[in-house]
């Protein structure tokens, strides 16, 4: 008798053993759910439904309806509402509650079951009504109005004209009363505009100390303001310490290399003071020698009155180098002669007897010479003969010349008969023209007379005076215009000016 054996205990058959453990293993932060789906933490999770924009809220403090008239059992002993207990009452604690007095029983609050999410619970502005702040704004506006009224009206009650616009001086009076400038670093007397240039930056000349930083005032012993200011458009020169050190070092090297045994050799790093003293002494001696030689020359030849010391301020003055320029709508400078753009290729060079340049003619997407219609560059010009040859070759290439030749050969047989018929027709035509000339001559003379009168009248109309123009058109001129004008709707207007006979059929 066969017995049903229980299935062997082993891993879940629904699990895929080929999925790595770092994927199938549930992390510690994942929610512990049922083991039906062991890859639930890898599935795409749905978006939370309790977001801030969809969070439900209620109007705080809304009452359910009219208040009760007498105390009810189970209600708050302080205010008489049924929706909260006495310990949870937010009303002012009464000396004797509504349970014993039965007066001023509050209405029940509306309590809704609000299920907030993680973000909605931590939203500090959830349920806030911004209209509640209007009361605070109104209170401050009333206080400001009272302050203005009290400042504009003195103690005696009569409005002072000087204090009507006292808002501008309010800050100054407040600064004087509090004496804020002595105790605080950022005082009102130190404040200035951002666009203001600091006083110590207005004069960059090292020789003139106009600004005293200790007292923060300008030095009154400065030169007259009418003099040329060096600081205008002048950049501060860099310090000359590096160049001075280089000159001292060179002087020390020169003394060491000197062959004269009487010259003392200096070492700038070993004894810099001695080197500086000796260098200054030598500089002073050389300057004295130059001054003595200059004085001797001036005493001998004269000309002291023509030598003036150079003005330091003018020497240091930076002249303006800006040039005022105006541009037109095309972007060019106004009044400046425009330069023609030159090509990088040679222009107007006629070669090989050509009278036009290469590229002056275009035909069938090919450039050539306009003088001979040659499309071969650097070819010799053939003139009109080359044009005729080109047209003939083009006609033979397209087949037009062959068509003309064939048409002339086919029409050659009928030339004799057509010539005879043409002669008879020509004789009849000449005979008819001779008869018509005699009839048309008086009509032509009348037409020429009409045209001549019309031209004279037109010239007269062109030379009308100002008085005639102001007077307007007379009746005779209007009548002549109506007689001579051509009506567009006239059926015979199309035959006007044709001296032909219309055959009546």
Going by DSSP bridges, is the β-strand pair 361-362/211-212 parallel, antiparallel, or unpaired?
unpaired
Each residue's pLDDT tens digit, 394-408: 887 777 767 776 665
| Percentage of the chain lying above the pLDDT 90 cut | 18
Each residue's pLDDT tens digit, 40-84: 888 887 766 656 666 666 777 788 889 999 999 999 999 999 999
| Domain assignment present for 251 | yes
**How many domains is the chain built from?**
1
3-state SS class at 117:
coil
Flag the least confident range among 19-23, 326-330, 385-389, 490-494.
490-494
Rounded Cα distance, 379 and 354, in Å: 9
Domain that includes residue 269, residue range: 241-307
Provide the CA 334 distance to its chain's centre, in angstroms.
24
- Say whether pTM exceeds 0.75: no
Q: Averaged over 234-257, what is the pLDDT?
A: 78
| Domain assignment present for 353 | no
| Domain assignment present for 268 | yes
Six-digit token pair at 489? Answer: 């709707």
| Domain assignment present for 264 | yes
Alpha helices in 40-183 (DSSP H): 98-101, 118-121, 134-152, 170-178, 180-183
Indicate if the pLDDT at residue 243 is higher than 90. Answer: no
User: DSSP per residue over 156-167, as a string?
Assistant: TSPPPSTTTTTT
| Domain assignment present for 14 | no
CB atoms within 10 A of CB 53: 5
| Domain assignment present for 260 | yes
Higher pLDDT, 362 or 209: 362
| Domain assignment present for 179 | no
| Domain assignment present for 124 | no
């Amino acid at each position: 008798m066969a017995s049903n054996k229980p299935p062997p205990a082993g891993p879940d058959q629904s699990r895929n053993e080929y999925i790595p453990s770092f994927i199938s293993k549930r992390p510690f932060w994942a929610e512990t759910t049922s083991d039906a789906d062991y890859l639930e933490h890898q599935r795409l999770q749905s978006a939370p439904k309790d977001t801030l924009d969809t969070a439900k809220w209620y109007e705080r403090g809304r009452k359910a309806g009219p208040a009760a008239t007498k105390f009810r059992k189970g209600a708050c002993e302080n205010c008489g509402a049924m929706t909260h207990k006495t310990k949870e009452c937010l009303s002012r604690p009464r000396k004797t509650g509504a349970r014993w007095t039965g007066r001023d029983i509050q209405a029940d609050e509306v309590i809704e079951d609000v299920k907030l999410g993680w973000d909605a619970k931590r939203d500090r502005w959830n349920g806030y009504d911004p209209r509640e702040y209007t009361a605070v704004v109104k209170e401050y506006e009333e206080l400001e109005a009272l302050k203005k009224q009290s400042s504009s009206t003195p103690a005696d009650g009569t409005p002072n004209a000087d204090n009507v616009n006292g808002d501008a001086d309010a800050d100054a009076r407040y600064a004087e009363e509090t004496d804020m400038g002595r105790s605080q670093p950022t005082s009102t007397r130190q404040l200035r505009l951002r666009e203001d240039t600091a006083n110590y930056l207005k004069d960059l000349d090292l020789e003139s100390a106009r600004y005293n930083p200790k007292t923060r005032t300008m030095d009154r012993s400065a030169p007259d303001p009418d003099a040329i200011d060096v600081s205008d458009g002048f950049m501060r020169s860099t310090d000359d310490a590096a160049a001075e050190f280089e000159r001292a070092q060179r002087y020390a090297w020169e003394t060491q290399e000197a062959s004269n045994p009487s010259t003392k050799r200096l070492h700038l790093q070993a004894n810099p003071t001695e080197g500086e003293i000796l260098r200054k002494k030598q500089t002073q001696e050389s300057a004295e020698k130059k001054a003595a030689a200059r004085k001797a020359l001036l005493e001998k030849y004269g000309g002291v009155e023509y030598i003036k010391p150079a003005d330091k301020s003018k020497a240091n003055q930076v002249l303006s180098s800006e040039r005022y320029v105006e541009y037109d709508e095309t972007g060019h400078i106004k009044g400046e002669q425009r330069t023609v753009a030159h090509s990088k290729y040679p222009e107007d060079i006629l070669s090989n007897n050509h009278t036009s340049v290469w590229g002056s003619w275009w035909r069938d997407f090919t450039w050539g010479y306009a003088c001979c219609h040659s499309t071969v560059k650097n070819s010799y010009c053939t003139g009109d003969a080359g044009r005729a040859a080109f047209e003939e070759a083009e006609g033979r290439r397209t087949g037009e010349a062959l068509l003309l030749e064939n048409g002339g050969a086919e029409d050659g047989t009928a030339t004799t008969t057509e010539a005879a018929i043409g002669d008879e027709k020509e004789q009849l035509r000449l005979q008819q023209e001779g008869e018509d000339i005699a009839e048309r001559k008086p009509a032509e003379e009348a037409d020429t007379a009409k045209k001549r009168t019309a031209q004279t009248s037109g010239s007269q109309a062109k030379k009308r005076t100002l008085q005639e123009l102001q007077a307007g058109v007379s009746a005779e001129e209007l009548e002549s215009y109506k007689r001579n004008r051509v009506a567009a709707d006239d059926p015979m207007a199309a035959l006007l000016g044709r001296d032909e006979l219309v055959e009546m059929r």
